């Protein structure tokens, strides 16, 4: 998901809509905005579909006045799949000291246990979302102000959370102690901005100030600006390495590094680790493009657009149902036949999850007359599900959970299939000596199976680590 918030700018909701539009790649199912105006109080709108189709309408935006607003774009990883407007964030709660709204990116790994406990003690849940637990935990807190109630609530929450929240006068940002999901701070005129990624600052012309640190809470008011605190027990930083590989936008900056440059570097490492003779390097667009460019630069094999993407389709993976995902590949990608015919082609993609994309693309490429097809993948084999906010399927559906690299190559019937090594990936994100065995610098659980936060709900359900 993507989260965004603004304080201290007239018609803040308009800025939030733009920010969410820039973060649309983080969630395409639905979006929501909550705002506050000194006279008109809290207002909100939640809609299915793209930001640009909803939050551009003057008739809707007029109902969202005020200098303070937060928003969320949804990609369902927890709670019900697909349609239920009650699952669309931000969530709102009315407390004795006033209202508050929260927008959450990540996944709470003890949400089932918390929900059960809260329901037994009288909470009435409105949605199936794990994030709603935060509101109910806040309601039960005895603290006298909302930021402190949030701290109380979030201390009970396990897993990944980057939260943007608001009261009548405050914009609040928090990252979980491992800092799994991103969150950055920006400045625009007299206003302040919180965004999942820096591309959300760029779109409104805000200046990037800094990242919210793992375990940090910032409380921002128009009068006093940014107040920072660290309310959680410190933990080793475990930023999601897959944000670098796929999830974030290539024009975003993470930890001082350009995501594009990291992906290009992954391609360079990939070409060094797994060279192959061929005529063309092609990307599976868009997610494979920067790595394909890096692969081409390192190998000297020309880069070409062998697969053309229909720009009117969103991210296939993010489609919640299998059927749509299956169709999605053909709706979204087509082979540039004239270019491919008779060629030995290297195809670079960011990841192989179920293998749906790779299988379809291989068929399409061979059908177009390619002589050889070599897959090069910009991440290590995805052998484990993510429980921290990326919607990987159950372990059984992951190709790499049951097959070796060679078996996958055979299964996909390609001439070769190679993945970047975990160390190669760490080098590409700037860790010169590769992955630290004792304490890996990132979360890489979907590749390594080493989960930095115990997925307790899943263990309860029988998941075996
Ligand atoms: Fe990111 Fe993978 Fe960790 Fe999930 S398991 S947070 S996708 S690195
Ligand atoms: Mg892709």
> Is cis: bond before 450, omega within 30 of 0?
no
* Residue 222 zone, left/alpha/beta (φ > 0; ψ -120 to 50; rest): alpha
Which residue, 360, 284, 250, 267, is CA-closest to 25? Answer: 250
Residues near 347 by beta carbon (within 8 Å), at least 6 away in sequence: 282, 283, 284, 288, 306, 307, 361, 362, 365, 373, 374, 375, 376
Taking the centre of ligand 1 as the mean of its atom positions, its distance from the CA of residue 366, in whole angstroms, is: 33
455 has pLDDT over 80: yes
316 has pLDDT over 60: no
The length of the chain, given as a count of residues: 465
Residue 80 in marked binding region = no
pLDDT of residue 356: 86
Taking the centre of ligand 2 as the mean of its atom positions, its distance from the CA of residue 160, in whole angstroms, is: 24
Ligand that lies nearest to the alpha carbon of residue 453, given by its number in the listed order: 1
Taking the centre of ligand 2 as the mean of its atom positions, its distance from the CA of residue 290, in whole angstroms, is: 12
Q: Give the separation between CA 24 and CA 196, rounded to whole angstroms.
A: 11
pLDDT of residue 201: 98
Q: What is the pLDDT of residues 226-274, one digit of tens each?
A: 999 999 999 999 999 999 999 999 999 999 999 999 999 999 999 999 9
241 lines ligand 1 (CB under 6 A): yes
Residues near 333 by beta carbon (within 8 Å), at least 6 away in sequence: 284, 285, 307, 308, 309, 310, 360, 361, 364
> Interior CA angle at 414 toward 408 and 417, to 5°?
55
pLDDT of residue 325: 64
> Interior CA angle at 194 toward 189 and 197, to 5°?
115
390 lines ligand 1 (CB under 6 A): yes
Residue 129 in marked binding region = no
Count of CB atoms situated within 10 Å of the CB of 315: 18
Q: For the stretch 217-230, what's the b/e string if a residue is b when 16 or more beta carbons lie within 10 angstroms of its beta carbon? A: bbbbbbeeebeeee
280-283 β-sheet, strand order: 280-283, 344-349, 372-377, 416-419
pLDDT of residue 160: 98
Which residue has the CA at smallest separation from atom 4 of ligand 1?
Answer: 386
The beta-strand segments (E) located in 269-349 are 280-283, 307-309, 333-335, 344-349
Which residue has the CA at smallest separation from atom 6 of ligand 1?
Answer: 240
Ligand that lies nearest to the alpha carbon of residue 350, given by its number in the listed order: 2
Note whether 111 and 133 are within 8 A (CB). yes
Taking the centre of ligand 2 as the mean of its atom positions, its distance from the CA of residue 130, in whole angstroms, is: 27
Q: Which ligand 1 atom sits nearest the alpha carbon of residue 243?
A: 1
Maximum Cα–Cα distance across the chain: 71
Note whether 5 and 193 are within 8 A (CB). yes
> Interior CA angle at 356 toward 350 and 361, to 5°?
75
Grade residue 315 by pLDDT with cuts at 50, 70 and 90: low
Q: Give the separation between CA 209 and CA 214, rounded to whole angstroms.
A: 16
- The best mutation among 444, 451, 454, 465 to test binding of ligand 1, ranked by most ligand atoms within 8 Å of the C-beta, falls on 444
247 lines ligand 1 (CB under 6 A): no
Which residue, 184, 182, 208, is CA-closest to 195? Answer: 184
Q: For the stretch 335-354, what's the b/e string if a residue is b when 16 or more beta carbons lie within 10 angstroms of its beta carbon? A: beeebbeebbbbbbbbbbbb
Mean pLDDT of 400-413: 95
pLDDT of residue 392: 83
Q: Which ligand 1 atom sits nearest the alpha carbon of residue 382?
A: 2
Residues near 380 by beta carbon (within 8 Å), at least 6 away in sequence: 419, 420, 421, 422, 425, 444, 447
444 lines ligand 1 (CB under 6 A): yes
Ligand that lies nearest to the alpha carbon of residue 314, given by its number in the listed order: 2
Residue 279 in marked binding region = no
350 lines ligand 1 (CB under 6 A): no
Which residues are identified as catalytic? 1
445 lines ligand 1 (CB under 6 A): yes
Which residue has the CA at smallest separation from atom 2 of ligand 1?
Answer: 446
Domains of the chain: 2-237 (3.60.20.10), 258-433 (3.40.50.2020)
pLDDT of residue 330: 80
Q: Which ligand 1 atom sits nearest the alpha carbon of residue 180?
A: 6
Q: Which ligand 1 atom sits nearest the alpha carbon of residue 384?
A: 5
Which residue, 43, 90, 49, is CA-closest to 62? Answer: 43
Tabulate helix, strand, coil % of the chain (nearest 5). 30, 25, 40
pLDDT above 90 coverage of the chain, percent: 90
The beta-strand segments (E) located in 231-326 are 239-240, 253-254, 257-258, 280-283, 307-309
Residue 386 in marked binding region = yes
Residue 391 in marked binding region = no
Ligand that lies nearest to the alpha carbon of residue 389, given by its number in the listed order: 1
Taking the centre of ligand 2 as the mean of its atom positions, its distance from the CA of residue 171, in whole angstroms, is: 35
Residue with tokens 């603290």: 143
Grade residue 80 by pLDDT with cuts at 50, 70 and 90: low
Instruction: Give the β-pairing of 372-377 and 416-419.
Output: parallel
Extract the tokens encoding 94.
């009315």
Least confident of 42-46, 54-58, 394-398: 394-398
180 lines ligand 1 (CB under 6 A): yes
Global pTM value: 0.95
Note whether 282 and 348 are within 8 A (CB). yes
Q: Is the ipTM of this complex over 0.85?
A: yes
Q: Which ligand 1 atom sits nearest the alpha carbon of residue 160?
A: 6
């Amino acid at each position: 998901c993507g989260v965004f918030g603004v304080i201290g700018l007239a018609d803040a909701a308009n800025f939030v809509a733009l920010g969410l539009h820039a973060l649309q790649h983080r969630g395409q199912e639905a979006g929501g905005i909550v705002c506050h105006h000194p006279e008109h109080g809290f207002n909100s709108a939640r809609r299915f579909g793209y930001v640009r189709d909803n939050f551009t309408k003057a008739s809707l935006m007029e109902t969202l006045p005020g200098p303070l607003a937060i928003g969320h774009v949804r990609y369902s990883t927890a709670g019900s799949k697909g349609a239920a407007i009650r699952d669309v964030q931000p969530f709102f709660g009315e407390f004795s000291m006033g209202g508050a709204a929260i927008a959450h990116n990540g996944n709470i790994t003890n949400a089932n246990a918390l929900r059960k406990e809260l329901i037994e003690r009288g909470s009435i849940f409105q949605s199936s979302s794990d994030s709603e637990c935060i509101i109910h935990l806040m309601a039960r807190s005895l603290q006298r102000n909302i930021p402190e109630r949030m701290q109380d609530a979030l201390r009970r929450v396990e897993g990944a959370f980057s939260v943007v929240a608001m009261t009548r006068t405050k914009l609040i940002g928090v990252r979980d102690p491992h800092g799994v999901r991103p969150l950055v701070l920006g400045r625009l005129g007299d206003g302040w901005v919180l965004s999942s990624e820096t591309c959300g600052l760029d779109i409104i012309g805000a200046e990037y100030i800094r990242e919210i640190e793992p375990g940090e809470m910032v409380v921002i008011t128009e009068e006093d600006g940014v107040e920072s605190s660290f309310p959680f027990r410190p933990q080793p930083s475990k930023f999601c390495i897959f944000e670098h590989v796929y999830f974030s936008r290539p024009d975003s900056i993470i930890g001082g590094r350009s995501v594009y440059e990291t992906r290009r570097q992954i391609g360079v490492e990939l070409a060094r680790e797994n060279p192959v003779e061929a005529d063309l390097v092609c990307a599976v667009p868009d997610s494979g493009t920067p790595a394909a460019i890096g692969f081409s630069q390192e190998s000297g094999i020309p880069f070409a657009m062998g697969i053309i993407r229909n720009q009117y389709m969103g991210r296939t993976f993010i489609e919640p149902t299998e059927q749509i995902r299956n169709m999605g590949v053909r709706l979204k990608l087509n082979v540039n036949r004239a270019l491919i015919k008779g060629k030995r082609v290297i195809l670079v993609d960011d990841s192989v999850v179920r293998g749906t994309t790779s299988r379809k693309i291989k068929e399409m490429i061979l059908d177009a007359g390619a002589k050889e097809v070599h897959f090069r993948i910009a991440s290590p084999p995805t052998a484990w599900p993510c429980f921290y906010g990326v919607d990987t399927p159950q372990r059984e559906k992951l190709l790499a959970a049951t097959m070796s690299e060679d078996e996958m190559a055979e299964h996909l019937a390609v001439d070769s299939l190679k993945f970047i090594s975990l160390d190669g990936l760490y080098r590409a994100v700037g860790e010169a000596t590769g992955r630290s065995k004792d304490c890996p610098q990132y979360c890489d659980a979907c590749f390594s199976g080493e989960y930095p936060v115990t997925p307790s709900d899943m263990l309860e359900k029988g998941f075996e680590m």
